Amino acid sequence: MPTLAQLRILVAVVDRGTFTDAAAALHVSQSAVSHAVAALEREAGGRLVERESPARPTALGARVLPHARAALASTDAFVAETAAGRVAGTVRLGAVPTVCQGLLPQLLHHWAQQLPDVQVRVFEGDDEELPQWLANGVVDAAVLVDPDPLPTGALVVARDDFRALLRRDHPLAGEPLVDLADLQDDGILSSPSGCEPQIARIHAAAGLPWAPAQHVRELGTVIRMVAEGIGVSLMPSLGQAMLPAEVVMRPLVPQAVRTLVLTGPTQRPWHPLVHAIVDAAPAHPHDARADLPAPVPLVDALAG
């Protein structure tokens, strides 16, 4: 049977990218890392890691890695649960880029004051990755966008609206409100890390076709392309912190709001430190809609 130490080494090799970096992170020798991976591979009956730079899981490794992560997450939660009530340790938190930029700095500062012995490590991902990371144990908690249903024990930490993202010299950049229909000829730029599923639903609610002119991986690329005048985009207002001087946000018609929810996994008990950060988090520390008329939540717009 594999040991927890072996599983931890396997995960570290994949996450760190090299046997050397995994050894340094775990404070063991590189030889110990190599022996542990080799022993796991004998137990599994095949190679788990490709010895490349960076190291990456084989097909067999990719199948067993989620189980290794889940086993380690449950073990870490057990240890924390039995730590005689001491609220201390590390909790891994996943969030989308706009939340990482516009909301997490405030939350991290708050947690540092309320839970000084708890370290929150941030993992940035997109909407599709975060639920998988929670299920597989890559992260212990996540700030999810519009989860349905609301997970038991979860906390709504913010709501913000979607806005038009325009180059500062765009003809609509000076308007108090921008109609989504007026942006269709400019070419909508889209990214999976830029709330793409929600933006597609906004188009559907408005009765407009969803046909992005450009589709790129990184939200930062979308912002740079808008700055260069290649197209326009939509972005939650929390993303204001990410914008260069050449790019502005303008309130959008129809208005649509996303809800940001702090939660642990639904498939297994929460790590005790997830309970701690949820209990310590202020509800609605940020609401970027104060300067707008009452918006229509996205789910209500779709239902209507």
pLDDT per residue as tens digits for the range 32-69 = 899 889 989 988 889 999 988 899 999 999 999 998 98
The reply to whether CATH 1.10.3720.10 applies to domain 159-258 is no
Full-model pTM: 0.69
pLDDT per residue as tens digits for the range 287-296 = 443 333 333 3
196 Cβ contact list (under 8 Å, min separation 6)? 126, 127, 190
Copy the structure tokens of residue 300: 């209500």
Q: What is the pLDDT of residue 222?
A: 93
User: Lowest-confidence range among 94-103, 125-134, 220-229, 244-253?
Assistant: 125-134
Write out the CATH class of domain 4-82: mainly alpha
Q: What is the mean pLDDT of residues 244-259?
A: 93
Q: Are 198 and 145 in contact (CB under 8 A)?
A: yes
The reply to whether CATH 3.40.190.10 applies to domain 89-153+261-282 is yes
Domain map of the chain by residue range? 4-82, 89-153+261-282, 159-258
Quick one: how many helices (H) and strands (E) in the chain? 11, 13
Q: What is the pLDDT of residue 228?
A: 94
pLDDT per residue as tens digits for the range 178-234 = 999 999 999 999 987 778 888 999 999 999 999 999 989 888 999 999 999 999 999
User: How far is the C-alpha of 105 from the C-alpha of 95, rounded, in Å?
Assistant: 12
Mean pLDDT for the chain overall: 86
